[in-house]
Structure 1
């Protein structure tokens, strides 16, 4: 095979939680990015860059720290996830193993908590939950969001309390 030829990569056609959120917000985003290859210029957006900086920092500090108050007995950091069944993929900040033999996604948000768990965040976490269940063959009952601009406030919600397309 010539070096100029490329292999077909099925994962290129999987959808990420961010892409689904963008599609639900405005279908044109998907068209511009996926069909016309119009870049998002994320490097010019302060909050995006600050969020990436925080993710990088969290990935490198307190690697061994387990959130005992949440019942965490193990964690994996910056985990690549996918679901062959639903053709979705994504990277979650942490996959937690809990003391009740379940698992849970944990994601850091460069945001302030304003007394609302937004549907976009819930959808993202539910997609992570589906991928965790499929990849690890383990039940996911809870999801955790860490709001870094609210003193690292942790908000928990139950998967069953949210619409689930499983």
Structure 2
């Protein structure tokens, strides 16, 4: 029997929303339009690279409503939660799961899969895994202050 998909607690949702931000690429028009993230990737809503049509976001995608942005977040979080559950084989607190969901939402399941964070965690080295969060602070080869803050927040939540 397959385990039910875990939920991300309120602290984890707030962390994701805070660091992804709800940006609008066209503030002079109705709806939330695509925008470029800090390394130039077309994004919509709370950091989604996938549109409501299931296709990769382009700058030509139509604007979405706040409700559609919430739906995108829920959809992407579902896949994120599945990835975390599939890759992590040790017991997790709700805060640890939420921190890993934020990390994976931002970086993708492939990065969690390849990470030393995952390896250490699956060896039950919880503190060693926590110390891996700050290492994931680069985007496009550049250290981004927002990622430094996000990883610190994820680490703190993981250890809470």
Alignment TM-score, normalising by the size of structure 2: 0.33
- Name which one, 1 or 2, has greater alpha-carbon Rg: 1
Higher relative contact order (CA 8 A, sep 6+): 2
More helix by share: 2
